[in-house]
């Protein structure tokens, strides 16, 4: 029994060594900061290990882990959303010491916009544009309908189009509403 356990643990360690970097990257894009991303990956791996004896012989280990990653993030959001503030999300602000090229500025503007998107919209964008998943696969991973995937993506893209539509807005030089006299 212990040999079986040991073998399973070794397989799990190999899986973690091979895939943890990718899971971290996805988790970072989902959460917007490293500390939360690391917590999310650790929780995901713990849950994956709990199911390891059942999924280790299947072809869908990574799909299983991904689904846990995205769903755990969603459930954390439900619990924690009221404590998240924009200032806590923007951990990775533009580095002013380096060349502030237009490319970097636009990319940072995009990232700032993604960081404040509702979690489901952000998950759809990450799955579609980072992991290159189809809408059907996204629907399966997130447990939502394909129509919802499309509407969430449309809403997120519309917001980005509006915010990044002009160089000024892309660079964050937004017009401030005037103050009361």
Partner 1 sequence: MNGDIEALLRSGLAEQAERAPATVDDPALADLAIAGAHRIRRRRRAAAGATGAGLLVLGAGAFVLQPLLATEDQGQLAADTSTSEVRNELGMEFLIQDDEGYQVINDDGDRVALVDYAPQDVYRLADAYLVVSAEEQTTELIGLDGAAGRGMSWPSEMTYNVVNSEATQFAMVTSNADYTEESYAINDAVIADRTTTIEFTTNFELTLADWSASTTVFTADLWSTTAGQEKRWFFDEQYSWNLESVGYAGYQSAVILDQQDPSFVCVADLEPGSGLAQVGEDCGRVDSPFVQEALGAAAVDEAAADLVDTAVAEFSGEGTQIYADSEPADLGDYEDQYYQAEYSQLDPSGRWELSYSRGDSTWILVDYTGDDPAVSILTPPEGAVMPVLDCRPPE
Cβ pair 66, 26 in contact under 8 A: yes
Number of residues this chain uses to bind partner 1 (CB under 8 A): 71
Residues 6+ apart with CB under 8 A from 84: none
Helix-, strand-, coil-residue percentages of the chain, each rounded to 5 = 75, 0, 25
Tell me the per-residue interface mask from 11 to 30 with partner 1, x by CB under 8 A, - otherwise: -xx-xxx--xx--xxx-xx-
For the bound state, the minimum distance from the C-beta of residue 108 to partner 1, rounded and expressed in Å, comes to: 9
**Residues 143, 67, 33: CA angle, nearest 5 degrees:** 110
Instruction: Give the residue carrying structure tokens 């390891």.
Output: 52
CB of 21 to partner 1, least distance (A): 4
Among 92, 94, 105, 137, binds partner 1 (CB under 8 A): 92
Residue numbers 41-80 binding partner 1 by CB under 8 A: 41-42, 45-51, 54-55, 64, 67-68, 71, 75, 78-80
Minimum distance of partner 1 from residue 35's CB (angstroms): 10
Q: How far is the CB of 147 from partner 1 (least distance, A)?
A: 5
Dihedral of the CA atoms 83, 85, 87, 88 (nearest 10)?
A: 40
* Shortest separation between residue 136's beta carbon and partner 1, angstroms: 12
Yes or no: say if 138 and 152 are a contact pair by the CB < 8 Å rule. no
Tokens of 23: 């899971």
Tell whether residue 38 is a contact of partner 1 (CB under 8 A): yes
Q: Is 135 exposed, middle or buried (0-12, 13-18, 19+ CB in 10 A)?
A: middle
Does position 93 interact with partner 1 (CB under 8 A)? The reply is no
Please report whether residue 7 would count as binding partner 1 according to CB under 8 A: no
Contact string 129-158 vs partner 1 (x = CB under 8 A): xx------------x-x-x---x--xx-xx
- Given 94, 105, 116, 171, the residue binding partner 1 (CB under 8 A): 116
């Amino acid at each position: 029994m212990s040999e079986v356990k040991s073998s399973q643990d070794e397989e799990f360690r190999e899986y973690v060594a091979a895939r943890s970097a990718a899971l971290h990257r996805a988790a970072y894009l989902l959460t917007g900061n490293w500390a939360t991303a690391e917590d999310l990956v650790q929780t995901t791996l713990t849950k994956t290990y709990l199911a390891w004896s059942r999924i280790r012989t299947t072809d869908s280990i990574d799909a299983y882990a991904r689904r846990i990653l995205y769903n755990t993030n969603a459930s954390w959001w439900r619990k924690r959303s009221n404590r998240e503030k924009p200032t806590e999300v923007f951990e990775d602000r533009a580095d002013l010491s380096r060349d502030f090229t237009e490319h970097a500025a636009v990319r940072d503007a995009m990232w700032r916009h993604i960081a404040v998107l509702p979690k489901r919209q952000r998950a759809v964008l990450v799955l579609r544009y980072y992991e290159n998943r189809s809408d059907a696969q996204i629907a399966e991973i997130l447990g939502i309908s394909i129509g919802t995937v499309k509407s969430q993506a449309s809403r997120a893209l519309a917001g980005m189009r509006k915010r990044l539509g002009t160089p000024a807005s892309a660079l964050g030089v937004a017009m401030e509403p005037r103050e009361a006299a």
